Amino acid sequence: MALDLILKEVDSGLPAALNEIWPIVEKARAEMGISQTTTEMTLGNLQFAGETPITYVQQCAAQAEQIANALHSSYWNLKKQKLKVQQLREKGDEMSTLKADQIESDMRNSEHYIRTGYNNLVHYQETAALIRKKFNLPDDISPQQLSENSKREHIRKAMRQALRDVENSGAISKGVSEHLEQYGIHPMTAKVQCLQYRDLVHQMIQNNEAPTMEHLLDWLDQMEIVHAGAPDDMLRLMRLKDFEPEN
């Protein structure tokens, strides 16, 4: 008997309570109900993907495709749900009406995620356009450009990882050594270069100077220039690319 009374109270009070609280929930979602801020999407996702502008554009495209696929599925699911609601309303019985109400409630609940996904999609599209403009990238990036860019990517990434290893343990780990070797960089050469940069940074700190990320990126720029030919040299050693004739 007590359970019946509780259920009656919930049945009469819950809809009113939900109608009262729902606008507050929607407002909170609009303000803070997002999985990532645009700052996190830009600083996190793009830098996690790689080191160069072309890679950032590729990551924007990959993220946009993933979101677009999810929105595509959501769109057709909503179409099916709307049709189902229409069919249930036409039946007119109490159970069908109840099911229609539930589906419409679920549809309203999913609108937030669709809106957030769309906003994220627009963000990645706008970010990709901005990167192309700032770095003067062509509208159509050729396979050759992607291949050359991948060499830059791996040189920079391997040297960044090597520097991290040297700073943390004083030695380059096996995995990073293999990464360096694959792209034609002798691990011991890389270690010496990392030690030289580490000592420079430590000296700056002792002189009350604070090295910035720009300082690190400048060093990576230098390493990229120094080792620019290493991947092609490795291809030649593998007999997959011809040695250029001497003049």
Within a 10 A sphere around the Cβ of 179, how many other Cβ atoms?
A: 21
Residue 49 pLDDT? 81
CB 51 within 8 A of CB 136: no
Boundaries of every domain in the chain = 34-134, 143-237
Give the separation between CA 217 and CA 133, rounded to whole angstroms: 21
| Burial bucket for residue 42 (CB in 10 Å: 0-12, 13-18, 19+) | middle
CB 190 within 8 A of CB 161: no
**pTM score of the predicted model:** 0.75
CB 75 within 8 A of CB 115: no
Mean pLDDT of 45-55: 86
Please give the DSSP secondary-structure letter assigned to residue 136: T
Residue 29 has pLDDT above 70, yes or no: no
Give 96's contacts (C-beta < 8 A, 6+ positions apart). Answer: 88, 89
Best mean pLDDT range from 23-27, 76-80, 232-236:
232-236
Residue 27 pLDDT? 61
Mean pLDDT across the chain: 85
Please give the DSSP secondary-structure letter assigned to residue 198: H
Residue 214 has pLDDT above 70, yes or no: yes
pLDDT band for position 139 (50/70/90)? confident
Structure tokens of 104?
A: 């419409």
| Burial bucket for residue 43 (CB in 10 Å: 0-12, 13-18, 19+) | exposed
Residue 16 pLDDT? 58
